[in-house]
Structure 1
Amino acid sequence: MKILHILDHSLPLQSGYAFRSRNILRSQKGAGLEPVALTSPKHEASWKRPSPAVERIDGIAVHRSGSVAGGNGVIGEGAVVWRLRSRIRTLIERERPAVIHAHSPVLNALAALVEARRARIPLVYEIRAFWEDAAADLGTYGSSSAKYRLVRALETAVCRRADRVVTICEGLRRDLLGRGIEDAKVAVVPNAVNPSEFSLPEASAGENGRFRQPGAGTVAFIGSFYHYEGLDLLIEACARLVARHPELRLLLVGGGPMEARLRVLAERRGATGSVVFTGRIPHAEVAQAYAAADLLVYPRKSMRLTELVTPLKPLEAMALGKPVAASGVGGHRELIRHGETGILFPPDDIPGLASAISTLLSSKSLRERIGRQGRDWVLRERTWDRNGALYRALYSRCIS
């Protein structure tokens, strides 16, 4: 069964979106499907260098759409949809897919919907987040703006017309059901990991590497520095804990829009000696950063985006057997059972966050138990082998 995937962008661009796309394609190939992919012109806009018309990534053909003129406004978005339609039509004629699987944002789904209906091929639309919510959080446009309402209405209309809709979590699924989308039409294929890719280096690599000081109690966050991640709250909490836990060291691995303000906050709180900013690191060094951590903390703030969407990073930490503490937003509650597979604390609550960190730092046996139970849950419920089978069953129902 051949599946044509329509993606915003893909590797070699590195992002959470690109890595999920890669894992989807690989898991489907492992499940006996034949995935083929097409990226939108936004791939070229972000890659900013020439791309071949087709690349093979993990043995799977990934076709490119080429760049378009028109900028980021309505004209540019129209050009993206027009170019995608043309490329989708060409690939339908060449590849003869059984299903077209479009992935958010909604521009991809619009182009795919027109061509799928023209060719009488089932359309699956996968929503990884509501992009209007992400845009509102980044300040691209407001949640009460006309564009926000337009994008939301467009997404709802596409979901009504698609043959099946996939979300990455129950929060997104419930939101779509609240818009009147049929219950039987919406499936969840959650974020997942490949256990074979998650192993820690030898202890010495973490102990003596640049990510850890011998004997330190290392609290870490590994990811992108966006406002909603709550890293300002994490710095404040750790600054309060240094007197009680003088060995505490906060390791912030990554970068993003909040980095400059976080550095200023650490300096203002007199925490520059205990807060370490590594900057963005090569993917090959991420395992060493995890190995250096005694626990991982995810202090996401409560807002529509975080209440609806489950993140990937806590799953990575859990897969490695690392204990996690996370705010009790809806996205985290889908992943973590308090006291069993992690520690939950109230969102936007600095004392609660500090208490959770202190509890885990004070008990090695608790860290080991939570880390072990979290890993067992991930290996049982959140692997890409399992997801490949979910997609295969979904497509079979879609065709029948």
Structure 2
Amino acid sequence: MRILITTIFDYPHEGGLSTHIYTLKKGLEQSGHSVKVLSFSELPNWKRKVYAQGPGFLLNKVKHGKGQLFNDFQRKQLLSKLILENHHNFDVINSQDIFATHASLDSPLPVVATIHGYYTYEAISRGAIDPKTNEAAKIKALEKKAYTGAEMNVTVDQRICDYVKESSRAEAHIIRNFIDTEQFNQVAPAGKTRKRYQLPENAQMLFVPRRLTEKNGVIYPLLALKNMIKDYPETILVYAGTGEQYTELKNTTEEFELQNHVYFLGSVPHQDMVALYQTSQIVLIPSVHSHGVEEATSISAIEAMGSGTPVIAGGVGGLKELIAHNKDGLLFKDRDENELAAHIRYLIDNPENAEALAEQAKYKVVNQFSHYTASQRFTELYSKAIKKKSIYS
């Protein structure tokens, strides 16, 4: 089968969507299929700036959110042209966001839309648009139109599946996020990894592999660290990611006088993340409810579980579906830094229990969240979409 994957975002880029595309592409190609990714990155830099980014930035100065909507529309138009130039080489399109779905629907090919989250609410959560505005209403309407236009919709957890059905009455299937489990077959030397990133060699490392955005709850590990640093002075907190909350995190670190305990690595290449997972003692996925948005089946959480490191996560959204509390990880209540601190203390003080949780988590990931299994399920839906398109054409 010849599959075209589309997105209006850059590829590759920092975040779960890019990892999803890369891993799905690998699984499909290993199964004998042909795959190409068309993204905003395929365009010349000048065209991206002149037609989308530049005007969008200026319009946002006039009215907050207006530029974001214009930028997304322009990206959609530019991607649509790329798809029309390439569609004859493919059997099916797998779009990765609502604007890529609209761009894909301009072609005669069947479209399978993968829905990673709540597009409108996530734009509000990260501050790109304001709630109860025309821009928010327009994007919400575009979401519904995308869901009803695609031959098949795929969501990464049950809550998003329910959201799609309730907001559009469109059919939706669940294929939870997945990872390349082969990447954990080799253990990276901890000392080498810490030296590379200038991290203390013997410190207890709490690792936050998250974009620094509100819905990811990245402030709560810092609040938890403040509550426990006197009892655990050798503990460090390491962030890998960028985002709009960086300045607040940096200022709060200084306010708490934790500069010697908190490290910001910025954007880390995905191939380096495995070593950071493995060299840490605990991985934190502290996601929270934010403007109607909840974490899906987090790729970061799945990767951490697959790496053999114990995971503590916010008890929201798809994380509750992924992690069985006290069996293969720990969950803490929404925005409860005290419970998060208590869980961290428990894992540090009980290394045997921490190891048992990590072993169960790795077993679950290898058996349930492999990219091989996911690529087979996607292939089945691609075939159904092709058949459905041919019937109604």
Matched, 1:228 2:226: no
Alpha-carbon separation, structure 2, partners of 1:296 and 1:269: 22
Alpha-carbon separation, structure 2, partners of 1:136 and 1:7: 20
1:155-166 matches, within 5 Å, as: 155-166=143-154
- Aligned CA RMSD, in angstroms, stands at 2.5
1:55 corresponds to: none
AA partner of residue 152 (structure 1): K
- Residue 334 of structure 1 aligns to a residue whose secondary structure is helix
Q: Report if aligned partners of 2:281, 2:310 keep a CA contact under 8 Å in 1.
A: yes
Cα deviation for residue 15 of structure 1 reads: 4.2
1:321 corresponds to: 308
Matched, 1:24 2:21: no
Q: Report if aligned partners of 2:213, 2:244 keep a CA contact under 8 Å in 1.
A: yes
Q: Bigger CA drift: 253-262 or 280-289? A: 280-289
2:230 corresponds to: 243
Cα deviation for residue 130 of structure 1 reads: 2.4
1:112-170 deviation per Cα after TM superposition (whole angstroms, max 9, x unaligned): 21322xxxx42212211222222101212122222112111221122123211111222
Q: Report if aligned partners of 1:6, 1:103 keep a CA contact under 8 Å in 2.
A: yes
1:114 corresponds to: 106
Q: How many residues are paired up?
A: 373
- Residue 100 of structure 1 aligns to a residue whose secondary structure is strand
2:41 corresponds to: 43
Alpha-carbon separation, structure 2, partners of 1:349 and 1:358: 15
Cα deviation for residue 279 of structure 1 reads: 3.4
- Residue 237 of structure 2 aligns to a residue whose secondary structure is strand
Alpha-carbon separation, structure 1, partners of 2:150 and 2:232: 54
1:271-303 deviation per Cα after TM superposition (whole angstroms, max 9, x unaligned): 223223333345454333223311111222222
1:271 corresponds to: 258
1:358-397 matches, within 5 Å, as: 358-397=345-384
Q: Report if aligned partners of 2:210, 2:216 keep a CA contact under 8 Å in 1.
A: no
C-alpha spacing 1:284/1:38, structure 2 compared with 1 (3 Å): closer
Cα deviation for residue 345 of structure 1 reads: 0.8
1:336-355 matches, within 5 Å, as: 336-355=323-342
- Residue 115 of structure 1 aligns to a residue whose secondary structure is coil
Alpha-carbon separation, structure 2, partners of 1:134 and 1:330: 14
Percent identical residues: 21
Alpha-carbon separation, structure 2, partners of 1:281 and 1:83: 29
Alpha-carbon separation, structure 2, partners of 1:207 and 1:36: 36
1:62 corresponds to: none
1:4 corresponds to: 4
2:135 corresponds to: 147
AA partner of residue 154 (structure 1): L
AA partner of residue 302 (structure 1): H
Larger % of strand: which? 1
Matched, 1:99 2:96: no
Cα deviation for residue 212 of structure 1 reads: 4.4
TM-score (norm 2): 0.86
Q: 2:245 aligns with which of 229, 243, 258?
A: 258
Cα deviation for residue 317 of structure 1 reads: 0.9
Cα deviation for residue 390 of structure 1 reads: 0.5
Q: Report if aligned partners of 1:7, 1:103 keep a CA contact under 8 Å in 2.
A: yes
Q: Report if aligned partners of 1:211, 1:292 keep a CA contact under 8 Å in 2.
A: no
1:60-97 deviation per Cα after TM superposition (whole angstroms, max 9, x unaligned): xxxxxx7762633466655444443333233233x1x3
1:302 corresponds to: 289
AA partner of residue 158 (structure 2): E
AA partner of residue 327 (structure 2): E
2:63 corresponds to: none
2:119 corresponds to: 131
Cα deviation for residue 264 of structure 1 reads: 1.5
Q: 2:81 aligns with which of 83, 86, 92?
A: 86
AA partner of residue 41 (structure 2): H
Q: Bigger CA drift: 76-85 or 322-331? A: 76-85
1:225-264 deviation per Cα after TM superposition (whole angstroms, max 9, x unaligned): 1122222221111111122223322222333222222122
Q: Report if aligned partners of 2:295, 2:319 keep a CA contact under 8 Å in 1.
A: no
Q: 1:280 aligns with which of 245, 250, 267?
A: 267
Q: Report if aligned partners of 1:33, 1:392 keep a CA contact under 8 Å in 2.
A: no
- Residue 258 of structure 2 aligns to a residue whose secondary structure is coil
Cα deviation for residue 33 of structure 1 reads: 2.4
Cα deviation for residue 318 of structure 1 reads: 0.7
Q: Report if aligned partners of 1:230, 1:300 keep a CA contact under 8 Å in 2.
A: yes
1:205-237 deviation per Cα after TM superposition (whole angstroms, max 9, x unaligned): 356664543442222212321122222221111
C-alpha spacing 1:351/1:44, structure 2 compared with 1 (3 Å): same
What runs of 5+ residues in structure 2 fail to find an aligned partner? Answer: 57-66, 388-393
- Residue 273 of structure 1 aligns to a residue whose secondary structure is coil
Q: Report if aligned partners of 2:95, 2:104 keep a CA contact under 8 Å in 1.
A: yes
For CA contacts below 8 A with separation 6 or more, give which structure has more relative contact order.
2
Q: Report if aligned partners of 2:16, 2:300 keep a CA contact under 8 Å in 1.
A: no
C-alpha spacing 1:210/1:37, structure 2 compared with 1 (3 Å): closer
Q: 2:180 aligns with which of 194, 204, 226?
A: 194
AA partner of residue 192 (structure 1): F
Alpha-carbon separation, structure 2, partners of 1:278 and 1:79: 32
